[in-house]
Structure formats: C-alpha cells, structure tokens
Structure 1
Amino acid sequence: MTQSHKIPNETRLERGKRALAEIDGEAGEKVVAALADIAPDFATYLLEFPFGDVYSRPGLNTKAREIATIAALTAMGNAAPQLKVHIEAGLNVGLSRDEITEIIMQMAVYAGFPAALNGLFAAKDVFALVAEREAAVA
C-alpha cells in the first residue's frame, strides 16, 4: 500500500483495516479479534497508527516494510508471536521463503545467534503452517 492507494475521505481506521487485510490477512485479523474482549481500544490504536498511518505512507512499498519489520522483530529476540504474523505477512506481500530466511540470518550479525535462531524457528513454524494450508487447498 502506498500513498497512491489511499482512498479520499477514508478514515485512519478504515485505511488501517484495509491495510491489515492486504498485508497480514487472516493472521492480523486474529490479533485484532483476540483483543476485542480485553482491550478493544488497543485494537483500534493498532489499526489506526501502524496500519492506517505508517504502513500507508509513501516512500516504501509493503515488501520493503515487511523486510524491515521481520528484521526488527527478529533482532528484538522476544517477539515470536508478532514475528510469526509478519513472516506470514512477508509471504503475503511477495517475499520468498528464502528471502525471509536470509533476512533472519542477517540479524545474527547485529542481534546475535540466539535472536536469529529464535527467528529461524519462528519461520520454520510459519512455513510449515502455510504448507499445510496450501496442501489442504490443493
């Protein structure tokens, strides 16, 4: 999603919901739904700020944004659930499994081997889940 994809008079929330659906698909919708009973306002913030404002900015396409997000979450080393959502988002926006693996391996240089190992195991889980879904559809 880029500036050219903004719809006139679209609210931040509407833009965020659209961006979330395009980028994270079902995985992102599950995160928002999981917040409904504990912090619905936080779900709104999640939709409006990162997706309605930041992801919708011009300058980077969604593929580049997901590369940065996967790298950052891997480097954090303690955000496996969020990393898994964004690994799946990376696949949704056109990153290959090999590219995602390389992004995560690159983080060993800057964040250390434990963070990269955690990221690789998160990727392995996501790739297996996606493969199961693809096999069920075929």
Structure 2
Amino acid sequence: MSNGGDPISELHRRGVQHFSELVEGGEDRLSAMFRTVPALGEVAVGVVYGHLHHRPALDPRTREVATLAAIVAAGMTGPPLSVHTRTGLASGLAPAEITETVVQTAAFAGFPRAVTHRRRPRRARWSSRCSRTNPTPRSLHWSKRPRRQS
C-alpha cells in the first residue's frame, strides 16, 4: 500500500472513496451501517470496495451481477441487496438486468428465495445516471460443430 501505512486502513480509505463514487452519500451510509462495529466496516469495505472492486479480471457490471446472484442465493435481504442494487445501477446495470439476475438465480438457488426478493430492487432508488430501459438483447454466438453421427 502507499507510504508504508497500515494496509487495512489504506484499503478501507480506498473502499470508502470507491463506494462514495458509486452511491450518493456513500460515506454517511457506510458510517451508519457500521456504527456499532466500526472494525467490521473497516475490513468489509476495505476488502469489497478497496480490493475486490479493483481486481481487473471482471468489469464492474459483471462483478455486480455475480454479487447480486450470491446475495439472492444466500437468502440475504435488507442492506446487502439494496446496497448492491444501487452499486449495480451505478456500475451500469439496467433495472431489467437486475431483475433478470434474480430470475436466473431463482432457477439454481430456488424460487422461494427469489420471490422473497421480488420487490427489493424496485424499492431502491434508481440513479438518474442509469438507463431505465431494457438492455439490448445480445446476439448469441454458437460454435458450429458437426453433429455426431450415431
């Protein structure tokens, strides 16, 4: 980390900065969320937003889709889902993509968990910076392999 400082503190600083760029009033939201256990906030924000969000293998949209799917699959509600709905929107996901992530996750994690989450994405405030339209369908590229002859 920079200047030989405490690595966890540096990750936390970087995480708070990144979260604040994604979510309006982010620093205040984090302070309120971790008011009772600030050390947990320091580690959680440092790891998730200070470290994981800066790893280059996944773009921010893909990272948020994976996060939302994991949250739904784990049956979490409340702050984890609302926070990552907001950061997903700020990362460029359309509301329809967030909804589709919940539907896709339902097929593998179970419909009861997805039904529990059906209203949560709508409750989050859609950012004015995000598209409110459905995503453009992506074309599928299937490899053309010859069929096996039996």
After superposition, the C-alpha distances for 1:105-127 in whole angstroms (9 at most, x for unaligned) are 1011011111111222111212x
Q: How does 1:28-107 map to 2 (within 5 A)?
A: 29-36=28-35, 38-107=36-105
Which whole-Å CA distance do the structure 1 matches of 2:44 and 2:84 have between them? 14
Larger radius of gyration: 2
- Confirm or deny that 1:12 pairs with 2:8: no
Deviating above 2 A after TM superposition, structure 1's stretches of 4 or more consecutive aligned residues are 8-11, 22-29, 31-34, 78-81
Which whole-Å CA distance do the structure 1 matches of 2:126 and 2:66 have between them? 21
Cα RMSD, aligned residues only: 2.4
Q: Which runs of 5+ in 1 are unaligned?
A: 1-7
- Which secondary structure does the structure 1 equivalent of 2:117 belong to? helix
Q: Which runs of 5+ in 2 are unaligned?
A: 4-9, 130-150
TM-score (normalised: structure 2): 0.71
TM-score (normalised: structure 1): 0.76
After superposition, the C-alpha distances for 1:18-68 in whole angstroms (9 at most, x for unaligned) are 2212334435741333322x1111111122111111111111121111010
Bigger shift: 112-121 or 68-77?
112-121
- Which secondary structure does the structure 2 equivalent of 1:120 belong to? coil
Which whole-Å CA distance do the structure 2 matches of 1:26 and 1:80 have between them? 18
After superposition, the C-alpha distances for 1:52-107 in whole angstroms (9 at most, x for unaligned) are 11111111121111010111101112333211110111111110011111001101
Aligned length, in residue pairs: 123
Tell which has more relative contact order, 1 or 2 (C-alpha 8 A, sep 6+).
1
Contact residue 16 and residue 27 of structure 2 kept, 8 A: no
Higher helix share: 1
